[in-house]
């Protein structure tokens, strides 16, 4: 970063805010139209706004896996979009970014969307007792999480390995194979879907009047209400900061916003001109504001690094009738980039990234160099002088040494970006996503090369004219795969 000092003796707090499906163009400071994000914009004006920052993958699970482990997700089986009853995808013997920070004396917490599996065996979790493997096995002192996504069962919060507000009269059962006898589903009982109807999929168990992916039974008073998820997650994040104000802490705060089902609190309804998706962005901005206010109130602003980014690119219709497509107007969720969530095009992995560290990062600055989230691990370790085991974070580099970044699409197509070019490997996949979202995939059965300088929107394939460049990128893909 411009002016990033590297005093090794320091242990600044770290608040890592990870939005879900928030696109490059979805924030005021990145050109959003139709929704205001004053808190995020203020953060940007006090820090650096990156204009070429990338998630590793264009969906959640692999993107988050890379971020927390420093390993490319295609090197590890089972890192695709996880079911709500998937087993722990990061194994206890892996050294995570949380382990690294713990080794430097940090208190560590994960609050929010998890989506990296729980328990030691898929489908065998005891949701009514204590999970036999959880985030405490991979470096987090505290967790208050949703197992997967808000559109996947189980629809309950989990705190330190146990379901919050567990209701013994309504034991929880979860299956991703078959429904439980006598339980309604969105498919068979559309009359029970009163809050948000599906546009595709999302027609299995119904919770809070919304159809989900997967089947669940029970839950009772432990079931979440979608309209208070942001309140609940934010309150727990704030509480963790308060309780750890006197020692170095790391907070991984992964919001549910703006993933589907978008069903923000009543007070955000109509906050944007774009319906529920825009209102969810306003709600995200509110959560950010609460975190920033807390840091200020506790006098922690100066000694805290705040990073704000997203797990993958944006999508409008991702399976619910929330009118995201109809009401988007002139707003461009992906900003100037082609494609979106799931894509091999830049819209899949190009994400907003804001970093604030008063006195170390120049306020109101911009950083145009190419950055990958996977490099956060080693960059931070270097900054803090942390020793990491020789086999840990194998693919994480100090961002200053990173000449190119790797990107993975939904079908595992690998792309490489450097400051001059974008290369997409051949894929036999379809040109458009097939199951509902209207998104260009970027898949073609031949090499694609785009000039970053003259064609950032990836419209003219210049692979044939630049065989040597293509060969160089193919070599990188071979090496990294
Ligand atoms: C898709 C879901 C989508 C979303 C996505 C994962 C359907 C029809 N679509 O399969 O709604 O949940 O998976 O999103 O089920 S992610 O941001 O967590 O990767
Ligand atoms: Ca996501």
The rounded distance, in Å, linking the Cα atoms of 101 and 309 is: 19
**Which residue's CA lies nearest to atom 10 of ligand 1?**
81
Burial class (CB in 10 A: 0-12, 13-18, 19+), 465: exposed
Q: pLDDT tens digits, residue range 216-231?
A: 999 999 999 999 999 9
Q: pTM for this structure?
A: 0.98
Q: Ligand 2 centre and the CA of 256: distance in Å?
A: 9
Contact in structure between 21 and 64 (CB atoms under 8 Å) = no
Q: Does the N-terminal peptide bond of residue 258 adopt cis geometry, omega within 30 degrees of 0? A: yes
| CA of residue 471 to ligand 2 center, whole Å | 32
Angle between helices 38-45 and 275-297 (to 10 degrees): 50
Instruction: Report the alpha-carbon distance of residue 365 to residue 3 in Å, rounded.
Output: 10
pLDDT in tens, 307-358: 999 999 999 999 999 999 999 999 999 999 999 999 999 999 999 999 999 9
249 class by beta-carbon count within 10 Å (0-12 exposed, 13-18 middle, 19+ buried): buried
**Residue nearest ligand 1's atom 17 by CA:** 60
Which residue carries 């308060």 as its tokens?
Answer: 242
Instruction: Give the tens place of pLDDT for each residue, 54-102.
Output: 999 999 999 999 999 999 999 999 999 999 999 999 999 999 999 999 9
Q: How far is the CA of 117 from the centre of ligand 2 (A)?
A: 15
């Amino acid at each position: 970063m411009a002016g990033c000092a590297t005093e090794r003796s320091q242990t600044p707090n770290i608040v890592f805010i990870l939005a879900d499906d928030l696109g490059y163009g979805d924030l005021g400071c990145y050109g959003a139209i139709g929704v205001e994000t004053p808190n995020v914009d203020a953060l940007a004006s006090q820090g650096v706004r990156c204009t070429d920052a990338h998630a590793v993958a264009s969906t959640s699970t692999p993107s988050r896996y890379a971020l927390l482990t420093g390993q490319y997700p295609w090197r590890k089986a089972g890192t695709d979009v996880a079911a709500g009853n998937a087993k722990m995808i990061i194994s206890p013997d892996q050294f995570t970014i949380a382990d690294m920070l713990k080794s430097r004396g940090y208190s560590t917490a994960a609050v929010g969307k998890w989506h990296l599996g729980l328990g030691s065996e898929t489908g065998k979790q005891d949701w009514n007792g204590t999970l036999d493997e959880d985030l405490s096995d991979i470096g987090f002192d505290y967790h208050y999480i949703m197992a997967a996504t808000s559109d996947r069962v189980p629809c309950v919060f989990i705190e330190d390995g146990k379901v919050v507000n567990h209701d013994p009269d309504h034991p929880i059962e979860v299956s991703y194979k078959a429904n439980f006898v006598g339980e309604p589903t969105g498919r068979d009982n559309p009359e029970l879907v009163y809050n948000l109807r599906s546009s595709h999929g999302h027609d299995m168990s119904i919770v809070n009047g919304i159809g989900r992916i997967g089947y669940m039974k029970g839950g009772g008073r432990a079931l979440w209400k979608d309209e208070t998820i942001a309140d609940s997650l934010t309150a727990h994040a704030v509480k963790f900061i308060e309780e750890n104000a006197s020692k170095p802490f790391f907070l991984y705060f992964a919001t549910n916003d703006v993933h589907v089902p978008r069903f923000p609190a009543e007070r955000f309804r109509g906050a944007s001109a774009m319906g529920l998706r825009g209102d969810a962005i306003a709600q995200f901005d509110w959560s950010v504001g609460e975190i920033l206010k807390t840091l200020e109130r506790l006098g922690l602003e100066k000694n805290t690094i705040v990073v704000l980014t997203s797990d993958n690119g944006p999508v409008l219709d991702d399976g619910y009738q929330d009118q995201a497509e109809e009401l988007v107007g002139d707003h461009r969720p992906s900003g100037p980039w082609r494609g979106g969530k799931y894509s091999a095009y830049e819209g899949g992995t190009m994400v907003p990234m804001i970093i604030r560290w008063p006195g170390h990062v120049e306020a109101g600055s911009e950083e145009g160099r190419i950055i990958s989230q996977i490099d956060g691990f080693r960059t931070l370790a270097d900054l803090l002088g942390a020793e990491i085991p020789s086999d840990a974070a194998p693919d994480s580099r100090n961002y200053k040494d990173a000449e190119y970044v790797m990107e993975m699409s939904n079908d595992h197509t690998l792309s490489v970006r450097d400051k001059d070019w974008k290369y997409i490997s051949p894929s036999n996949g379809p040109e458009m996503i097939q199951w509902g979202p209207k998104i260009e995939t970027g898949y073609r059965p031949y090499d694609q090369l785009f000039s970053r300088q003259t064609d950032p929107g990836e419209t003219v394939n210049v692979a044939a004219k630049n065989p040597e460049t293509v060969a160089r990128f193919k070599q990188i893909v071979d090496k990294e795969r």
